[in-house]
């Protein structure tokens, strides 16, 4: 028989409309986990009050954002108990998973014992076929149907039924699709969404396929699922497999350097994943560097700026800054790659000292290239490096500062490709350096997460803030928050004498895409592409580029970039000294100056990377304030 298609319109919703498909995450159990899943803003969270399941819910429901409906799941429970639980847990919906009769549903619907109206979801389990006639008796006594896979236990069976059964769905009541749905089914769901069977599909219900153990949901896989379901293109802020952050990064190096960089690229992730490497790295960070560094609630500073400020005390690390985290990681990497000789470049000498330190620790030869001018300006750090056994080699070409020292280091590496490892000191350089340095520094945000949880009851602050030279302390502070949209990222650059003064290092404002030290990034340059000399009172921020990750964070708007002048930074450094008894490095002082320019809410939690201590800058402070 020929069907008259004109009069049987299929009215299949377009994928766009269906992108509003609701999400229910069921089988929530643990308070922390409930909070972190709630942060993903699913439409429903399910709590199973049925005792015969490992996902049985028996604690309190924490405060969760408005707009998320709390669903109590029951199996053949007394109506009076269900009513009790609805009132006790302020449930918005009940899901009836047993053989509850239509009459049972109508009692729940009409009772005046509830403090607010609820939605009723009636579950039907499907194996390979289903007799849809049973639905009719429920049409007027519930709000939704839910189709689950028939299994031994009600719910959480982990496998799916044949969704095409729903082609014969005779009702117009919206339904939940459930049963063994996981991230691997995304394509199936997308196909389903455009099929006739999905016409009245209202929500997707997920449970066991997102668990690391019964009742414990994996937030990042859930997030990926929700984003994919809603066709949200998520931005990736980590390096991709080609070594790029968006349009920035890569490895732009002379051919003769290729074997060295390639050797590192092929090995760095493998080496870092070795349990033996991790054990040694963690142990040195603990016993030698002094980690974990404290997360300190700065009470007087918080009071002054009427917000909650926490300081991540990288200044308390051995050698006085975050740089040692990276040099420890890289010296262990060099050893695993069979290298015996270490080279490094340094501007102000901080990275030179951190490198000389780990070379002394491991008994390895250390050569530090440093511009001749910098050697004269940074005598104490030169002396430190020498005491630690390093050889400091002056760079005599060009402006005789950092970029010339870098050129010398690269030249050395080309000439010594077999036995030498080049320790780069920030999240810059050719791939894989930015990523490798970031991963070593990521210990900073890894610690912040549990430390903040201990003190504030949550892992995510409202903001993370760090100053940016090349961007290694910032990359480490942001790392575990890059893909947490509720955490604002603030990057602080040095404006020097002012953005328009010609004496500045505010790369995100003044820079354009270009190539420096082997990577494509934002870079301060003249019209014809010559690198401009940057300026900042702080030697560690006096760099004409930023790491490629930060260029990407700036370009995409993920991070807010602020620039701070010399004078604002110096005042902020003095203020922190007087308010908290902590003299910060001048680099770090830049980050503190943002409180004069940006207002935070009283209950905002702002975590600031206190990247280093001010001992090395004492003479600068003395000269500036005529102390
Ligand atoms: C070197 C240094 C910086 C800048 O380097 P990043 O790689 O951007 O972190 C910031 N603060 C201190 C204390 C430093 O020594």
Residue 147: which CATH number? 3.20.20.70
Residues 349 and 379: their CA atoms lie apart, in Å, by 9
CA of 518 to the centre of ligand 1 (A): 20
Question: Considering the domain boundaries, does residue 86 fall inside one?
Answer: yes
Question: Does residue 141 sit in the same domain as residue 248?
Answer: no
Identify the pLDDT of residue 126. Answer: 93
Establish whether 372 is a catalytic residue.
no
Q: Which of 435, 469, 485 is the last residue of a domain?
A: 435
Question: Considering the domain boundaries, does residue 278 fall inside one?
Answer: no
CA of 413 to the centre of ligand 1 (A): 24
**Does the C-beta of 249 come closer than 6 Å to ligand 1?**
no
Question: Does residue 428 sit in the same domain as residue 450?
Answer: no
Listed residue (549, 577, 351, 579) closest to 468, CA to CA: 549
Question: Does residue 132 sit in the same domain as residue 40?
Answer: yes
Our mutation pick for probing the ligand 1 site, out of 355, 611, 613, 615, counting the most ligand atoms within 8 A of Cβ, is 611
CA of 322 to the centre of ligand 1 (A): 7
Our mutation pick for probing the ligand 1 site, out of 472, 547, 609, counting the most ligand atoms within 8 A of Cβ, is 472
Question: Considering the domain boundaries, does residue 403 fall inside one?
Answer: yes
Asked if the model's pLDDT at residue 18 lies above 60, the reply is: no
CA of 625 to the centre of ligand 1 (A): 23
CA of 315 to the centre of ligand 1 (A): 11
- Confidence bin at 518 (pLDDT 50/70/90): very high
Question: Considering the domain boundaries, does residue 286 fall inside one?
Answer: no
Global confidence as pTM? 0.74
Q: Which of 435, 457, 490 is the last residue of a domain?
A: 435
Residues 175 and 139: their CA atoms lie apart, in Å, by 12
Look at the chain and report how many structural domains it folds into: 3
Whole-angstrom Cα Rg for the chain? 30
Identify the pLDDT of residue 193. Answer: 86
Q: Where are the alpha helices (DSSP H) in 111-257?
A: 186-193, 219-229
Residues 517 and 426: their CA atoms lie apart, in Å, by 11
Asked if the model's pLDDT at residue 534 lies above 80, the reply is: yes
Identify the pLDDT of residue 155. Answer: 59
Identify the pLDDT of residue 19. Answer: 52
Question: Does residue 213 sit in the same domain as residue 259?
Answer: no
CA of 91 to the centre of ligand 1 (A): 50
**Does the C-beta of 347 come closer than 6 Å to ligand 1?**
no
Residue nearest to atom 4 of ligand 1 (CA): 469
**Does the C-beta of 350 come closer than 6 Å to ligand 1?**
yes
8-state DSSP, 82: H
**Does the C-beta of 611 come closer than 6 Å to ligand 1?**
yes
Establish whether 228 is a catalytic residue.
no
pLDDT digits (tens, 9 = 90+) for 405-422: 999 999 999 999 999 999
Question: Beta strands of 7-81 (E only): which ranges?
Answer: 22-25, 44-48, 69-74
Question: Does residue 20 sit in the same domain as residue 52?
Answer: yes
Question: Does residue 170 sit in the same domain as residue 53?
Answer: yes
Question: Considering the domain boundaries, does residue 276 fall inside one?
Answer: no
Question: Does residue 119 sit in the same domain as residue 71?
Answer: yes
pLDDT digits (tens, 9 = 90+) for 310-350: 999 999 999 999 999 999 999 999 999 999 999 999 988 99
Question: Does residue 413 sit in the same domain as residue 451?
Answer: no
Residues 197 and 135: their CA atoms lie apart, in Å, by 16
**Rounded mean pLDDT, 20-46:** 94
Question: Does residue 416 sit in the same domain as residue 451?
Answer: no
Listed residue (565, 567, 599, 572) closest to 588, CA to CA: 572
Identify the pLDDT of residue 401. Answer: 85
Establish whether 323 is a catalytic residue.
yes
CA atoms 449, 453, 459, 460: torsion sign: negative
Residue 382, domain CATH? 3.40.50.1100
8-state DSSP, 417: T
Identify the pLDDT of residue 550. Answer: 98
Asked if the model's pLDDT at residue 528 lies above 50, the reply is: yes
pLDDT digits (tens, 9 = 90+) for 70-120: 999 999 999 999 999 999 999 999 999 999 999 999 999 999 999 889 999
Question: Does residue 501 sit in the same domain as residue 420?
Answer: no
Residues 147 and 171: beta-carbon distance below 8 Å: no
Tokens, residue 452: 């903040």
**Does the C-beta of 441 come closer than 6 Å to ligand 1?**
no
Residues 168 and 128: their CA atoms lie apart, in Å, by 13
Mean pLDDT of the residues in the chain:
93
* Element of type H or E holding 346: strand 341-346
* CB burial of residue 403 (10 Å; 0-12, 13-18, 19+): buried
Of ligand 1's listed atoms, the one at least distance from the Cα of 437 is 7
Of ligand 1's listed atoms, the one at least distance from the Cα of 314 is 13
**Does the C-beta of 319 come closer than 6 Å to ligand 1?**
no
Question: Considering the domain boundaries, does residue 236 fall inside one?
Answer: no
Identify the pLDDT of residue 5. Answer: 39
**Rounded mean pLDDT, 267-288:** 97
pLDDT digits (tens, 9 = 90+) for 241-272: 899 999 999 999 999 999 999 999 999 999 99
CA of 471 to the centre of ligand 1 (A): 7
Our mutation pick for probing the ligand 1 site, out of 321, 325, 507, counting the most ligand atoms within 8 A of Cβ, is 321
Tokens, residue 204: 């997707």
Tokens, residue 547: 């790491």
Question: Considering the domain boundaries, does residue 153 fall inside one?
Answer: yes
Our mutation pick for probing the ligand 1 site, out of 322, 378, 582, counting the most ligand atoms within 8 A of Cβ, is 322
Identify the pLDDT of residue 290. Answer: 98
**Does the C-beta of 354 come closer than 6 Å to ligand 1?**
no
Question: Does residue 420 sit in the same domain as residue 504?
Answer: no
Question: Does residue 488 sit in the same domain as residue 621?
Answer: yes
**Does the C-beta of 468 come closer than 6 Å to ligand 1?**
yes
Q: Which of 391, 420, 435 is the last residue of a domain?
A: 435
pLDDT digits (tens, 9 = 90+) for 203-248: 999 999 999 899 999 988 899 899 888 877 778 899 998 999 999 9
* Containing structural domain, residue 208: 15-229
Question: Considering the domain boundaries, does residue 110 fall inside one?
Answer: yes
- Confidence bin at 154 (pLDDT 50/70/90): low
CA of 382 to the centre of ligand 1 (A): 18
Residues 289 and 265: beta-carbon distance below 8 Å: no
Residues 480 and 483: their CA atoms lie apart, in Å, by 7
Longest alpha-carbon distance in the chain: 99
Listed residue (424, 487, 609) closest to 237, CA to CA: 487
**Does the C-beta of 323 come closer than 6 Å to ligand 1?**
yes
**Does the C-beta of 426 come closer than 6 Å to ligand 1?**
yes
pLDDT digits (tens, 9 = 90+) for 458-499: 999 999 999 999 999 999 999 999 988 889 999 999 999 999
**Does the C-beta of 588 come closer than 6 Å to ligand 1?**
yes
Among 18, 323, 339, 520, the one annotated catalytic: 323
């Amino acid at each position: 028989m020929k069907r008259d298609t004109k009069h049987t319109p299929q009215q299949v919703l377009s994928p766009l409309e269906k992108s509003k498909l609701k999400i229910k995450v069921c089988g929530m159990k643990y308070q922390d986990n409930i909070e972190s899943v709630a942060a993903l803003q699913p439409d429903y969270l399910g709590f199973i009050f049925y005792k015969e399941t490992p996902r049985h819910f028996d604690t309190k429901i924490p405060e969760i954002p408005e707009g998320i409906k709390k669903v109590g799941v029951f199996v053949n429970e007394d109506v009076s108990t269900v009513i009790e639980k609805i009132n006790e847990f302020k449930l918005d919906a009940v899901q009836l998973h047993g053989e509850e009769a239509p009459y049972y549903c109508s009692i729940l619907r009409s009772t005046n014992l509830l403090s607010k109206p609820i939605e009723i979801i009636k579950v039907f389990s499907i194996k390979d076929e289903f007799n849809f006639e049973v639905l009719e008796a429920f049409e007027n006594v519930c709000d939704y149907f839910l189709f689950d896979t028939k299994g031994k236990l009600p719910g959480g069976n982990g496998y799916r039924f044949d969704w095409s059964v729903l082609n014969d769905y005779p009702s117009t009541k919206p339904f939940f699709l459930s049963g063994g749905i996981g991230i691997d089914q995304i394509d199936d769901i997308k196909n389903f969404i455009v099929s006739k069977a999905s016409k009245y599909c209202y929500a997707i219900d997920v449970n066991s396929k997102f668990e690391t153990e019964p009742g414990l949901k994996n937030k990042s896989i859930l997030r990926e699922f929700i984003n994919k379901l809603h066709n949200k293109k998520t931005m990736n802020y980590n390096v991709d497999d080609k070594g790029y952050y968006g349009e920035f990064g890569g490895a732009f190096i002379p051919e003769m350097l290729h074997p060295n960089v390639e050797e590192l690229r092929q090995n760095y992730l493998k080496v870092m994943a070795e349990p033996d490497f991790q054990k040694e790295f963690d142990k040195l960070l603990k016993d030698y560097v002094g980690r974990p560094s404290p997360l300190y609630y700065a009470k007087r500073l918080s009071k002054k700026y009427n917000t909650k400020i926490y300081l991540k005390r990288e200044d308390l690390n051995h050698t006085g800054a975050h740089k040692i985290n990276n040099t420890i990681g890289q010296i262990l990497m060099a050893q695993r790659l069979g290298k015996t000789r270490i080279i490094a470049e340094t501007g102000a000498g901080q990275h030179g000292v951190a490198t000389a330190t780990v070379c002394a620790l491991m008994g390895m030869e250390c050569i530090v290239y440093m511009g001749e001018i910098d050697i004269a300006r940074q005598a104490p750090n030169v002396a430190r490096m020498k005491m630690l056994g390093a050889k400091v080699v002056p760079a005599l070409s060009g402006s005789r500062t950092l970029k010339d020292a870098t050129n010398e280091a690269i030249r050395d590496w080309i000439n010594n490709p077999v036995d030498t490892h080049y320790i780069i000191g920030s999240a810059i350089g050719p791939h894989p350096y930015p990523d490798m340095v970031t991963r070593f520094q990521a210990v900073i945000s890894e610690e912040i997460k549990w430390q903040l949880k201990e003190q504030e009851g949550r892992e995510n602050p409202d903001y993370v803030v760090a100053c940016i030279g090349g961007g290694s302390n910032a990359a480490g502070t942001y790392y575990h928050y890059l893909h947490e949209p509720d955490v604002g990222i603030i990057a602080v650059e040095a404006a020097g004498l002012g953005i328009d003064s010609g004496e500045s290092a505010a790369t995100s404002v003044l820079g354009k895409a270009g190539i420096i030290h082997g990577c494509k990034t934002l870079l301060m340059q003249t019209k014809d592409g010559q690198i401009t000399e940057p300026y900042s009172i702080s030697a560690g921020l006096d760099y004409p580029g930023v790491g490629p990750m930060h260029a990407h964070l700036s370009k995409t708007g993920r991070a807010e970039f602020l620039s701070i002048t010399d004078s604002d930074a110096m005042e902020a450094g003095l203020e922190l000294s007087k308010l908290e008894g902590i003299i910060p490095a001048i680099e770090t002082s830049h980050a503190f100056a943002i409180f004069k320019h940006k207002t935070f809410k009283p209950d905002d939690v702002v975590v600031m990377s206190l990247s280093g201590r001010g001992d090395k800058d004492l003479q600068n402070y003395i000269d500036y304030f005529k102390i």
